[in-house]
Every structure is written in structure tokens, then in C-alpha cells.
Amino acid sequence: MINYQKGSIAAVTSEEYANSSVDYKLSSAQAYARGYKVSIRNLNSWFGVKQALKNINFDVKENTITSMIGPSGCGKTTLIRCLNRMNEMTPGAAVKGSVYLDDVDIYANGIDPVTIKRRIGMVFQKPNPFPTMSIYDNVAAGLKLNGIRDKKLINEIVEESLRGAALWDEVKGELGKPGSSISGGQQQRLCIARALAMQPEVLLMDEPTSALDPIASAKIEELLNDLKKDLTIIIVTHNMQQAARVSDYTAFMYLGEMVEYGPTKQIFENPQKELTERYISGKFG
Amino acid sequence: MTRLLDLGISRISNIIMDMATLSVRSVDRAIEAYEKESGSKDQIFEWSEQLRVLQDEVTELAVELIARYQPVATDLRFIKSCMEISYGFSRFGRYAYDIMDILGTMGPLSHCDKNPVLDMANTAREMIHLSIKALQTQDKDAAKKLYEMDDTVDALYRKYLREIITPTNKKEMKNMITDPRCYLSTLLILRYLERISDHACYIGDSVHYIVTGASSPRR
Amino acid sequence: MGDISSIQEKRRSVIQDAIVRQNKKRRLMDRVFTGVTIACIALAMIPLGSILIEVVKNGASAISVEFLTRPQGSIVSGGGGIGPAIQGTLLVVGYASLIGVPVGVLAGIYLSEYAGNNRFAYIVRFFNNVMTGMPSIVIGIVGYILIVLAVGSFNITAGALALSIIMIPIVVGVTEETLKLVPHSIREAGHSLGIPKWRVTLFITLRSAKNGVLTGIVLALSRISGETAPLIMTILGTSLFFQFTFEGFTDPVDALPLRIFRLAALPYEHAESFGWGAALVLILIVLSLSMALRFLVLDRRYKASGGARL
């Protein structure tokens, strides 16, 4: 077998290319031991009687970017909303299965969904800064409302998070301005900073650039690449080129099932499934 | 509905097929010229030049398609391979031209033993046809067959080379050595034919890559 | 090909002709429609304008420091002022909102954020709507029976309670509706930061809906400031100031609408002028509440920048 990753810029080892389809027979503990940050096992989800996710299994490696692609309604958004237990807040939604964060099943009995959300941050489709809060307060909100009073610590974290989200230089003089007064791209980076302030281990992003212009989107994409040093990122995107650009791994979903999952270069250059090929080549969907 | 990319892809395949026809014709004509001591050098020059221009066109078009449509999967592999395949065809033209050049330099060769060249030319032409057919039918297994044929071509070439450098008493060989034009022309043309068969293999490789996504294990 | 392009040409000319034919008619209709809307606005403004003009014309002359601060003088000869009525209105309305605002806002939060579409919420919403349309005299009777009879005298608590009953359904309705206008993604953003739900609701959702909720509260305050019927049944009216003593809470209290009502019934000229003056004061109080809200409390910066637009 030729060493595929030779020409790839993604952070994927040759061993993983050799084993391109993730070995679902790994137990969650084995996956954790091999450096997988998030392991999804037999995950199913329903909205009322409609099944939105059908027996999803995959592992996400630490400090990588994984993207979910697929036509509208394929379940990709539902899937990432299951990863921080946000999905169950939707009326009528039900979830069955396991999601391991490190070696802990976040759906196990006795796990508080609120605590889980502190470890797994989320950025949404449309920039949604808290409308009545200043830029500073937007970033500090998660800390303050979780009962942190230490002003100095908050100041530090706010600056660090804004720097982390590549927004600091643009807003440092006007932290008191309303969060909703900056441009859409800046608002989305503000939302990323807000999530970063909680020092998450995993960052979930639900079509984070779909409401932004190409320049602002490109900035977010560059930012993601910087962020993956400290974070594991899972991003839903309906822009296949974006998935191809930013991610190390790509998962293709269709009708609630994960059709194919593998290194991004492989998915886009040599998909193993006919359905994947047809979707990414624009032959349907 | 036709994908915009498909318009470009069909254009690029048309050019490739034109190149295939042109390169086959060039090689055939060059071999014929050697065999029958006839034929026009200028015609092959022109074809070879045309092949080179077409190769540039394929590269331009491929780059444009990549820039405009960001092709993926089979589309991407096809376009990438078209660049390599068109290079192969332009090489066929170039070697045909080189053969004509040798013939021009050496002058009449009717007294030489032409069998080694004609033998190998048959195999090389068969390989060209096989590679073009593989391209048309997307036959991923053709590469294997091509490499087997390439092995025989290489063996032939080495065998002939050894024969020439080994002192001999055989009469006909002696004859040949007395006229260096015979063995020099034979050796040079064999060399070009050997290169042609290599490129036929590469085309087979490209077809294999288009179909399976994996590079051929031989390269 | 020729066929297709000639068909296209034909269609184009048909459409073009139709547009030209419609043009004249369209312009006329545009003008008529604009005219009708302007006429309707004028029609709506006439009563409002004439009331304001009439009240200011007749009431402005009565206003003086004495009028605003003194209790009513002799009924026959006049003199004094409407001090107790102003004080009473401010106290009763303030007292009522102490009860009505928290209950109304919290109930609105429950309906919008916690109840979903369950049966209980459906019933609460239904009764809330009924309550909004309840004749205020009936509410006055409830206050009379529940408190006045129990305490044994007309008192401020009964008045405040009656007014708060009028206020609550308005505040509940406005709070629920404005909270529902807050985009769901704002709540989700809060939850995604691991903030407990009650904090998300109070400090993020409610805060985002602040402008709307405050507007609703001021609307309810304006409404109860003008209520007369329930006050007759509960605080009765008096010409004395409210005393901040234990006994004060068991005595009748005056209020502007009551004062206007009583003055209007008197046959004396000075009483009539006092009545207009009191009406002007009441209008000014309500007006200043709205103005204060608009210019002091509402954060216009955020509104202008497209936050919660309400």
C-alpha cells in the first residue's frame, strides 16, 4: 500500500490511512487509550416517531478537526447536538446510545448535562451574541453566570479568549460596545471567544460560516486551524469545499446514517462508497 | 441537468482521444518509414508539434477546471490523470519524431537486419493500443498486462544490447558490425520503443488510479 | 429554434402590453390607497388631539403649587388642592405594582420558558385572556369582599390588590409574548456555556427581552393609574393625606380618578376647574412614566444596533 498521507497537509498518520475506515470494534476504553477524545457508540435519536440518527459509531481523535457533511436533513446537526446533550432540550427529542468524552459516557446515569456543556463548547449557525450585553460581558457571561467573581481572572480570560478567537486587536478599544454592534464575522468570532472562555476540551460548530461572507468565512477557517492545537473540533458544514479545506477527517451522513468516515483527503479524492462519491461530486443532494 | 464540470470533462476527454489517434498514427508512420525506407519526415514533425500543443491545452483546461469547480473523487482523479496521460501521448509523438530523425541521419538501411526493431515495434504498438483501449473502457486491470508486456520489451532491449557488445563469430553479426549504422540505428530505435512502452504502462497506471483511487503498486 | 424565439417574442409583447395597460390604473390606485390611509390616521388623531387640547385648556389654569400639595379646601368655597389624590395614586399604583410586577413577570416566564404546550399552561393562558377582559368593577367587588369586609374598613391594600389583579394579566401576556420573541439560539448559547437554566432565563433571556417587558409594565401601570371603578369599592376616596402609620393602612385613601369623579359631580365652578386640573395631572403622570421609560430606562443603543427589536 502506498503511503497516502505523503502529500496531505492534514494531521493524519499513515497508520490511520492504512486503516482508513475506523475500526468500530474498538471498545470505548481502547479508543480512549489510542488518543480518541470523543467516541460515539450505537447512538440513535428520534424526534417524535421519526428516527433522526440510526446507530452512529465513530471516534474523533484529539486535536483534530472533523467535519460532518451531507444533504439537508441528514442528521448531521442532530448528531453534533447529541454530543453536548443539547439535543434533548428540543421538545420531542429522544436519544439512546453512548457518547464517551475521554472515558466517561456523557449519557450515563448521574451525569449532569450542565457540567457536560462546560467541557464541550458550541458555536451556532447564526452569530448569536447576547443582544443586551457588551463585548466584554458576552465573553465573561459564561464565567460570571457560573458564579466566578474573581475580577482579575475574568479580565485575563476575556482577553485570552478574544485573542484566541483572533478578535482582540479589532475590539480591544471598545470592549464596552454592544456585542451586536460589530460585523457578522466579528460577531461569530465573538461567539467563539465566548465558548473559549469556558476553556472547553471539545468545540462543536454548527455551520458556523453559513451566514458569513467569504472573507469572514476564510478568517474563521484559519482560526479553526489555530484552535486545534488546544481543542478537538467537530464542525457541521453544508459547504463541501470548506470541509475539504479545514478538516482532518470527514464524515458523510445520509438519511440519519453515517455512510462513510475517513481522512478528508481520502473522502474527497477516493471515497469508498458510491453514495459518497455521488454526493460530493454534486450528482445529487 | 448537466453539471458544469461535465462540460469541461467531456471537452478534456475529446482532446485526449484526439491525441490518442494522433500519437498512434505518428508511431505507426515512423515504424513504416523504417521498414519501407519511405515516408515524410515533415508530416510526423507536424503531428508531434500538434501533440505538444494539445498537451498544453489539456494542462490549461485541467487547471481551469480545478480552479473553477473544485472537482472531487473520480472527477478529480480523472482530471489529474488527464494531465499525465496527455504527457504520455505527447511523448509518443516525440519518439516517433526522434525515430524519423535517426532515419534521416543514418540514410538508407535496407542492407541491415530489421527484425529486432520490427519485433519490438509490434509489441510497443500493441501496448499503445492496449493503453488507449484501457482508457476508453476504464479497464483497471490493463496496467498489469501492460507491465508484463513491458518486461518482455525490456528483456528484448537488454538482449540486443548484450549481443552487440559481445564479440562474435556469427556471420550475419559480423556483417552488421562492419556497418556501424546498422547496429547504431537499431539500438537507438529500440531505445525509443522501450521508452514508448514505458509510457504506455504509465497510461495504464493512470487508468488504474482513475478507477480505484490507488496508485499502481509498480510506481 | 426559430419557433421558440418567435413564441418568446410574442409572450414578451403580451406582457409588455399588459403592463402598459395596467400602468394608469395602478397609479390611480396607489394614490387612492395612500389617501385613505392618511385619512384614517387623521380620524384616529382627532379624538386624542381634542381630548388633550380640552384638558390642557381647562386644566392648566388650575395648576399651582398649592393645588399640587394641599388637601381639598371647603367644598363650597373652594381652595386647597388635590395633594392627597396625587399621593394616593402614586402609593396605590406603586403598591399594586409591587404585587403585580413580580407575579406577572414570573408567571409570564413560566408560560414562555417552562410550560411548553401542556394542558395546565393552556388553561392558565385561557384564564389570563379572560382576566384581561374582566370588567374592572367586578374586580373591585372582589377586593371589597376579600379585604374590605375582612379588615372592616376601606384600605389601601384592597385597592392595590384590585389594581394588581387588573395589572397581572397584562404583564403576564406581554412578558410571555416578548420572551417568545427572543430567538431560541440566544437561550441555546446560554445553555451551551453550561449555565443553569434559571440563570439563563433570568440573566440572558429576560435581559434580552427587557425592553419589551418594561414597555408592558408601563402600559399596565398607565392602565391602572386611570382605573376608577375598582377604587371606589376598595379605597373609597378621602380628602386627607395617607398617614404612614399602622392606622393609615386601615383608612380610606384618595386617588386622582376618584377625585376627578367626585369633583365632576359637584355643581360648583371651582370644582369643575379642579377636576380639569386633576385630569391634567393624571395625564402628565402617565405621560411622564412613558417618557421616563423611553428616555431613561430603555437601552436605545442596543435597540438601534439590532438586538432584541421590540
Which residues does residue A56 pair with via DSSP β-bridges, in sequence order? A43
Q: Could you tell me the pLDDT band of residue A20, with boundaries at 50, 70 and 90?
A: very low
pLDDT at C303: 45
Buried b (16+ CB within 10 A) or exposed e, C201-230: bebbbbbbbbbbbbbbbbbbbbebbbbbbb
Is the per-residue pLDDT at A46 higher than 80?
A: yes
Chain A residues lying within 8 Å of B213, measured CB to CB: 266, 269-270
Task: Look at residues C230, C227, C226, C179 and name the one whose alpha carbon lies nearest to residue C205.
Answer: C179
| B50 CB neighbour count, 10 Å cutoff | 17
Give the lowest-confidence range in A2-16, A27-41, A233-247, C223-237. Answer: A2-16
pLDDT at B108: 83
Residue among A87, A122, A128, A135 with most chain C CBs within 10 A, to mutate:
A128
> Is the Cβ–Cβ distance between B87 and B20 less than 8 Å?
no
Dihedral angle of Cα B79, B83, B88, B92, to the nearest 10 degrees: 110
Give the minimum alpha-carbon distance from B216 to chain A in angstroms, rounded to a whole number.
Answer: 9
Homologous superfamily assigned to C63-304: MetI-like (1.10.3720.10)
CA separation for the pair B97, B53 (Å, rounded):
15
Chain A residues lying within 8 Å of C207, measured CB to CB: 130, 132-133
Chain B residues lying within 8 Å of A271, measured CB to CB: 73
Q: Could you tell me the pLDDT band of residue C214, with boundaries at 50, 70 and 90?
A: very high
CA separation for the pair B122, A123 (Å, rounded):
66
Q: Pick A269's closest partner by Cβ from B5, B76, B217.
A: B76
Question: For chain C, which residues lie within 8 Å of any Cβ of chain A, measuring from their own Cβ?
Answer: 116, 183, 185-186, 188-196, 199-200, 203-204, 207-208, 210, 299, 301-302, 305-308
Q: What would the grid cell of residue C197 be?
A: 437554566
**Which amino acid is present at A35?**
G
Residue among C182, C184, C187, C195 with most chain A CBs within 10 A, to mutate:
C195
Domain count of the fold of chain A: 1
pLDDT at A69: 94
Neighbouring subunits of B (3+ Cβ pairs under 8 A):
A
Within 8 A by CB and 6+ apart from C281, the residues are C59, C63, C68, C82, C86, C256
> Is the Cβ–Cβ distance between A126 and C185 less than 8 Å?
yes
Determine, for residues A281 and B214 on separate chains, whether the beta-carbon distance falls below 8 Å. no
> Is the Cβ–Cβ distance between C84 and C240 less than 8 Å?
yes
Could you tell me which residue, B218 or A163, shows the higher pLDDT?
A163
H or E, element range at A65: strand A65-69
pLDDT at B215: 77
Is the per-residue pLDDT at A13 higher than 70?
A: no
Q: How distant, in Å, are the alpha carbons of A44, A139, B125 from that of A168?
A: 40, 11, 67
pLDDT at B217: 62
Could you tell me which residue, B200 or A283, shows the higher pLDDT?
B200
Is A185 within a domain? Answer: yes
* Strand A50-61 with A65-69, pairing: unpaired
Chain C residues lying within 8 Å of A125, measured CB to CB: 185
Count contacts between A and C (CB, < 8 Å).
Answer: 91
Q: Pick A146's closest partner by Cβ from C191, C194, C207.
A: C194
Residue among B5, B6, B69, B72 with most chain A CBs within 10 A, to mutate:
B72
**pLDDT over 90, % of chain B:** 63
CATH number, domain B4-212, options 2.120.10.30, 3.40.50.300, 1.20.58.220, 1.10.1040.10: 1.20.58.220
Q: What is the ipTM of this complex?
A: 0.86
Q: Do chains C and B touch (3 or more CB pairs under 8 A)?
A: no
CA separation for the pair A22, A41 (Å, rounded):
12
pLDDT at C300: 57
Give the minimum alpha-carbon distance from A195 to chain C in angstroms, rounded to a whole number.
Answer: 7
Q: Pick C192's closest partner by Cβ from A91, A121, A145.
A: A121
Q: What would the grid cell of residue B34 be?
A: 523504417
Is the per-residue pLDDT at C306 higher than 60?
A: no
Q: What would the grid cell of residue C201 be?
A: 432565563
Which residues does residue A67 pair with via DSSP β-bridges, in sequence order? A235, A250
Is A285 within a domain? Answer: no
Q: Pick A117's closest partner by Cβ from C183, C191, C207.
A: C191
Chain A residues lying within 8 Å of B212, measured CB to CB: 270
Give the minimum alpha-carbon distance from A265 to chain B in angstroms, rounded to a whole number.
Answer: 10
CA separation for the pair C261, A72 (Å, rounded):
65
Tens of pLDDT, residue by residue over C268-279, are 888 888 889 999
Question: A212 touching B, CB under 8 A?
Answer: no
pLDDT at A7: 43
**Which amino acid is present at C52?**
L
In a 3-state reduction of DSSP, which class is residue B57? helix
| B72 CB neighbour count, 10 Å cutoff | 23
CA separation for the pair B118, B32 (Å, rounded):
9
CA separation for the pair A100, C290 (Å, rounded):
54
* Terminal-residue alpha carbon distance, chain B: 39
Determine, for residues A117 and C192 on separate chains, whether the beta-carbon distance falls below 8 Å. yes
Q: Could you tell me the pLDDT band of residue A19, with boundaries at 50, 70 and 90?
A: very low
Determine, for residues A2 and B217 on separate chains, whether the beta-carbon distance falls below 8 Å. yes
Q: What is the pLDDT along chain B (219 residues), one digit of tens a residue?
A: 688 899 999 999 999 999 999 999 999 999 999 988 877 788 899 999 999 999 999 999 999 999 999 999 899 999 999 999 999 999 999 999 999 998 988 888 888 888 889 999 999 999 999 999 999 999 988 888 999 999 999 999 998 888 877 766 666 555 555 678 888 888 899 999 999 999 999 999 999 999 988 876 665
Buried b (16+ CB within 10 A) or exposed e, A100-139: bbeeeebbeeeeeeeebbbbbbbbbbbbbbbbbbbbbbbb
Contacts with C, A 21-80, CB within 8 Å: none
Chain A residues lying within 8 Å of C203, measured CB to CB: 141, 145
Chain B residues lying within 8 Å of A280, measured CB to CB: 72-73
Q: No. of H helices and E strands in chain B? A: 7, 0
CATH number of the domain residue A122 falls in: 3.40.50.300
Domain ranges for chain B, please list them: 4-212
Is the per-residue pLDDT at C186 higher than 60?
A: yes
Domain ranges for chain C, please list them: 2-61, 63-304
pLDDT at C304: 40
Give the minimum alpha-carbon distance from C302 to chain A in angstroms, rounded to a whole number.
Answer: 6
Residue in chain C lying closest to A191 (CA):
C189
Range of the domain at A51: 4-280
**Which amino acid is present at C146?**
L
Q: Could you tell me the pLDDT band of residue C167, with boundaries at 50, 70 and 90?
A: very high
Determine, for residues A281 and B215 on separate chains, whether the beta-carbon distance falls below 8 Å. no
User: How long, in residues, is chain A?
Assistant: 285
Give the minimum alpha-carbon distance from A71 to chain C in angstroms, rounded to a whole number.
Answer: 22
Determine, for residues A280 and B73 on separate chains, whether the beta-carbon distance falls below 8 Å. yes
